[in-house]
Structure 1
């Protein structure tokens, strides 16, 4: 029975993603965000439990990607689609007309995120380099980044932030960039902290502490900042390592 436990947890991830889709369709983004977070929680624990029970399998790997495709691929794409569609309904705010908004085609640009996630997950399954760390932004991190945007809009009192994050052109650019960064040949430092010599994990511990502080002080606004810091730190580390090799 124990070999089925990680897969059951993975299916809970998939179920969370499906529920998030329903809430996203109903424009209930806070609940969609909550269920995506719950799905990502299950996504972490299925792999952890599989390692603890020593029941890692090829089936589990494929099932994990299929679940992530919904929770971290379909949901963020759908959320951006709904955001762009709602902007289309209020075109006068951005001086848009049906002609300038390409007759309703622009909202579908949100699904570039979904396409990028699908490509990344398929590539991840055959990439033997991504065992202890990642190359390209993982789909759960990208999903949190995308879903944090409407959450920031819903909770902030700053008209400037609302205006910037609601801009349809920016949302399209973010969709394209997120698909690129998920599939970029960019090594990201591992966040796994193994028991033992904690002094060798100063960077990871420091990053976690900083993330907690940002979340407490900035709440939803901290999420995109944390992910951007993670990417920039990884780029800096990669450049530093290259210089040391040279």
Structure 2
């Protein structure tokens, strides 16, 4: 029995397990714990591919299993978080048509599903991404209730923005769009150990670390937005 070939799939299943636990925490409005378990799942998601390449046991089963695990950790969980945020927003539930409003948060889950399905058959995304990867989108969405919790005391604007139903709907629709947009995003993989070939990645990571140290949870949505903007600038100007 070749134990090595089962290690990557086991790590993938642990990613799925983390996603399942995160769902439970979201249902209890414990968003910080949900964030940590999604973060752990994303960490495991990186290493299942790493060990599959290391042990040379990559295969179609692992590819499908990886997407199914990501569907929960980076698809269902952020959709559920947005549902809960919309449920707590300034929606007047007495108005009949708005009773269904919070369910629109699961548009993120639908967009994630489409993104993962397209990724499996898109041969263009071996060294870079087209559209925002689902793990990055998941971290963006899961950071929002944490920003609301930890920064609302010092900023009334944070409360007004992140509890406004139309702002949350805009974020939801943009999330589903950016997941599937035909926008090339640079990869963070470093293949050659020199600054010239990795200048973009090094600059991005350095700024990301500075933001995390200084802004904590607030840094996460800013880093994701910065990543997309930097990729657009790279596509239009730096590559030329």
- TM-score, with length taken from structure 2: 0.94
Structure 2 CA distance for partners of 1:216 and 1:190, relative to 1, 3 Å: same
Q: 1:136 offset after TM fit, Å? A: 0.2
Alpha-carbon distance in 2 for matches of 1:231, 1:207: 11
In structure 2, which of residues 156, 168, 171 is the aligned counterpart of residue 171 of structure 1? 168
| Other-structure match for 1:106 | 101
Instruction: Say whether residues 1:183 and 2:172 are aligned partners.
Output: no
Q: Structure 1 residues 62 and 162 mapped into 2: Cα distance closer, same or farther (>3 Å)?
A: same
Alignment of 1:65-76 (within 5 A): 65-76=67-78
Residue matched to 2:55: 53
Query: What CA distance in whole angstroms lies between the structure 1 residues aligned with 2:50 and 2:84?
Result: 34
Shift in Å at residue 196 of structure 1?
3.2
Moved over 6 A (4+): none
Structure-2 separation of matches of 1:44 and 1:83: 28
- Cα separation, 2, equivalents of 1:162 and 1:8: 41
Map of 1:39-188 to 2, 5 A cutoff? 39-87=41-89, 91=91, 96=92, 98-99=94-95, 102-156=97-151, 157=153, 158-188=155-185
Q: What is the correspondence of 1:10-21 to structure 2 with a 5 Å cutoff? A: 10-21=12-23
Query: 8 Å contact 2:192–2:198 — kept in the other structure?
Result: no
Q: So what's the TM-score if we normalise by structure 1?
A: 0.92
Deviation of the 1:87 alpha carbon: 2.5
User: Does residue 238 of the first structure (1) align with residue 235 of the second (2)?
Assistant: yes
Q: Distance in 2 between matches of 1:103 and 1:121?
A: 30
Displacement of 1:195 in angstroms is 4.5
CA–CA separation in structure 1 for the residues paired with 2:6 and 2:191: 25
- The whole-number CA distance in structure 2 between the counterparts of 1:11 and 1:178 is 26
> Pairwise CA RMSD of aligned residues?
1.4
Q: Is the 8 A contact 2:19 2:37 kept in 1?
A: yes
Aligned-partner Cα distance in 1 for 2:98–2:118? 34
Tell me, yes or no, if structure 1 residue 37 matches structure 2 residue 33: no
Gaps of 5+ in 2: none
Structure 1, unmatched stretches of 5+, are none
- CA distance in 1 between partners of 2:187 and 2:69 (Å): 22
Measured after TM superposition, the shift of residue 44 of structure 1 is: 0.8
Secondary structure of 2:146's counterpart equals helix
Equivalent pairs counted in the alignment come to 236
Distance 1:5 1:186 in 2: 33
Q: 1:213 — aligned with what? A: 210
